[in-house]
Structure 1
Amino acid sequence: MTDPNHPNDNGDFISDARHELAGMLQDGLDHPSTKPVLAWGAAGAVAGLVLPFVSIPLGLAVGAGYQFYKRVRP
């Protein structure tokens, strides 16, 4: 059965992630995944600033990567 929230979900993570990223790049901030991914990236950057041994770029990448993964695979 197809999920109405993810109509292009065919079970292949790489294909789904590529499709989601292409949509985010094409639609910009109008895409429903862009704002949550950016918000989690910012939260990760703040965590990287606060936590020792974690840099801001690493926190940004981890936060954005986690939310992107959760958007592709809820």
Structure 2
Amino acid sequence: MMGGRNLDNRVEIACPIYDESVKKEILDTLDICWNDNVKAREICSEQLNLYVKQDDSPIRSQFVTYDYYKNQL
């Protein structure tokens, strides 16, 4: 299957975040991602990448994240 999500052959790491400002920035970015309803997908039990149905005004996390960091400057 071309273009499928790599769910089986991947490496993930974790590390503690001690700096509170960095922690807030990461949590803000994750909140933006959770609210995406334009490019968001859910992976069902058959591992299909289904788009999340858009009921509210569109929120595209890539654009919102860009604006978030642009406003940090």
Q: What TM-score do you get using the length of structure 1 for normalisation? A: 0.26
**Which structure has more helix as a fraction of its residues?**
1
**Which structure has more strand as a fraction of its residues?**
2
Q: What TM-score do you get using the length of structure 2 for normalisation? A: 0.26
Greater RCO (CA < 8 Å, at least 6 residues apart) = 1
